[in-house]
Amino acid sequence: MAPGGAPREILNDVAVADWNPAGTDLAVVHVVGNRFRLEYPIGTVLYDSPGWISHMRVSPDGRSIAFLDHPVYPDDRGSLWIASAGKRARRLGGDFASTQGLAWSRSGKEILFSGAMRGPSRSIYAVDLRGSMRVVASLPGSGRVQDVSATGDVLITMDDISLGIRGRAPGERAERDLGWLDWSIPGAVSRDGRLLLFNEQGEGGGEHYAVCIRGTDGSPAVRLGDGTSEDLSPDGAWALTTRFWLRPPELWLLPTGPGQPRKVLPMGLENIVAAGFVPSGRQLLVIGNLPGHGTRAFVCEIAGGALRPITPEGIYARKSNVSPDGKWVVGIIRGGDARVYPVDGGPPREIPGKHPEETVMGWTADGKSIYVSIFGRRPAVVYRLTLATGARARWADLNGPEDNAGVLIGFTVLGWDDHTYAYAYSRYVSELYLARGLR
């Protein structure tokens, strides 16, 4: 923007941007077809991520870009990378359970960033351009590096963050708390509404997270194993999980009662964003991408068989987006636009009345309507949206706990009875600090 002038639009669908030191060129993280691309200058692609990119900064000499690459959106598990024109992007700092915030040192010889090997409590690290890493400061909470001044002072935010779950059981009107430790995220509710599948992704969850179940009546939690909680089988006997730390990632079935874990057929996907059971229980809906391709929704037989794409590249879905009869899937374009895609092939249907900022939570039991809401606020108002007409009716208000300081409403899973649900709520309080003398 010229001094005194009005702002001018340069590029749409930009997640992160940073000027070079001369102020002549922008580096951007450009979202194209549901993939995150690092461009510097705009139009010159230095890196194309199969996951997502955050906290990108240009070096003091303007020659290199440091950024954080995360395998699965919106999980902040990831690593530190560097890219330069004419060179292949390379990883400088390896797999952290959580990583957010970075800045170049004033000399440009090191990059400071925040990361946690386990849980959300991040410390400050420094890494040089050869990849030699050291701990700069161990912090008592979840710290984030924001910037480094010309004199070497470091601007840091200290974040007090936790995730909990609240839900409503069959036949009950009041919600109850269904979280367990410090970072509980709902995965699915069983068809009868009496069982909740969820993840523990904080300190108590361990390096590879913990897959857990508990009754929606508040009965004690049971740990099933490692991985990301995806879905419950129609009979509630199996929990579908992703072993995200493997390359390529793998889908596994963990028994909710007696039995042994089972690996699902090889997927061959570079990343698995989400997965769930098709209502028949014989097929899976898998959202991910093949190497070199964009994210899309696939269907596959549990017993074996090839992945069959049901949406174009750049269209993703949630595991709850399959209709009760298994014939339709709500496909979503990043930015909020959505259509209903036939599982057996054919042109998609429009969704009248849906607002771009609304998230599709799932289907009504009769398959004639969908539930939509806007998350990241409190309360999150849930509407029932009729697919044939676009008419909407207010269904529920998700408020979180009574002590609601710093609370926002997040990811929600629904039962099959138009009554039962469970949702994540975050409690986020942040303070700003100036750190001097860090070496």
Residue 404 domain-assigned (yes or no):
yes
Predicted local distance difference test score (pLDDT) of residue 315: 87
**Which of 152, 187, 216 is at the close of a domain?**
152
Mean pLDDT of 381-400: 96
In a domain, 436, yes or no: no
Q: Are residues 343 and 288 in the same domain?
A: yes
* Domain shared by 187 and 252, yes or no: yes
pLDDT of residue 196: 98
414 and 268 both lie in a single domain: yes
Among 119, 152, 185, give the residue marking a domain's end.
152
Q: What is the chain's mean pLDDT, rounded?
A: 92
Do 286 and 171 belong together in one domain? yes
Please report whether residue 157 resides in a domain: no
pLDDT higher than threshold 70 for residue 3: no
* pLDDT > 80? residue 267: no
Residue 100 is part of a domain; what is its CATH number? 2.120.10.30
Which pLDDT score, from 0 to 100, does residue 231 have?
97
**360 lies in the same domain as 391:** yes
Residue 425, pLDDT > 60, answer: yes
Whether residue 74 has pLDDT greater than 60: yes
Give the pLDDT band (50/70/90) at residue 1: very low
Looking at residue 285, its pLDDT comes to 95
Residue 238: pLDDT above 80?
A: yes
pLDDT at 296 over 80: yes
Residue 83: inside a domain, yes or no?
yes
What pLDDT digit, counting tens, does each position of 88-101 carry? Answer: 999 998 789 899 99
1 is a domain residue:
no
Residue of 191, 233, 218, 237 whose CA lies nearest to 417: 191
> Are both 140 and 228 inside the same structural domain?
no
Q: Answer whether 421's CB lies under 8 Å from 163's CB.
A: no
Residues 367 and 397 in one domain: yes
> In terms of domains, do 131 and 63 share one?
yes
Mean pLDDT of 307-316: 90
Residues 147 and 167 in one domain: no
Does residue 438 belong to any structural domain of this protein? no
Mean pLDDT of 201-210: 88
Q: Are residues 179 and 272 both part of a single domain?
A: yes
The residue written with tokens 């857990």 in the block is 212
Which residue has tokens 């889908």? 251
Tens digits of residue pLDDT in 341-354 = 999 988 999 999 99
Domain of residue 57 covers 14-152
The verdict on 174 and 108 lying in the same domain is no
- Choosing from 124, 152, 180, the residue where a domain stops is 152
Same domain, 109 and 170: no
pLDDT at 4 (0 to 100): 64
Higher pLDDT, 393 or 336: 393
Structural contact between residues 96 and 139, judged by C-beta atoms closer than 8 angstroms: no
145 compared with 265, residue with greater pLDDT = 145
Residue 3 in any domain: the answer is no
Average pLDDT over residues 178-200: 95
| Domain count for the chain | 2
What is the 3-class SS of the chain, one letter each residue? CCCCCCCCCCCCCEEEEEECCCCCCEEEEEEECCEEEEECCCCCEEEEECCEEEEEEECCCCCEEEEEEECCCCCCCEEEEEEECCCCCEEEEEEECEEEEEEECCCCCEEEEEEECCCCCCEEEEEECCCCEEEEECCCCEEEEEEECCCCCEEEEEEEEEEEEEEECCCCCCCEECCCCCEEEEEEECCCCCEEEEEECCHHHCCCCEEEEEECCCCCCEEEECCEEEEECCCCCEEEEEECCCCCCEEEEEECCCCCCEECCCCCCCEEEEEEECCCCCEEEEEEECCCCCCEEEEEECCCCCCEECCCCCEECCHHHECCCCCEEEEEECCCCEEEEECCCCCCEECCCCCCCCEEEEECCCCCEEEEECCCCCCEEEEEEECCCCCEEEEEEECCCCCCCCEEEEEEEECCCCCCEEEEEEEEEEEEEEECCCC
Q: What confidence tens digit (pLDDT) does each residue in 105-148 have?
A: 999 999 999 998 877 788 999 999 999 999 999 887 788 999 99
Q: Is 389 within a domain?
A: yes
298 strand-pairing partners: 286, 309
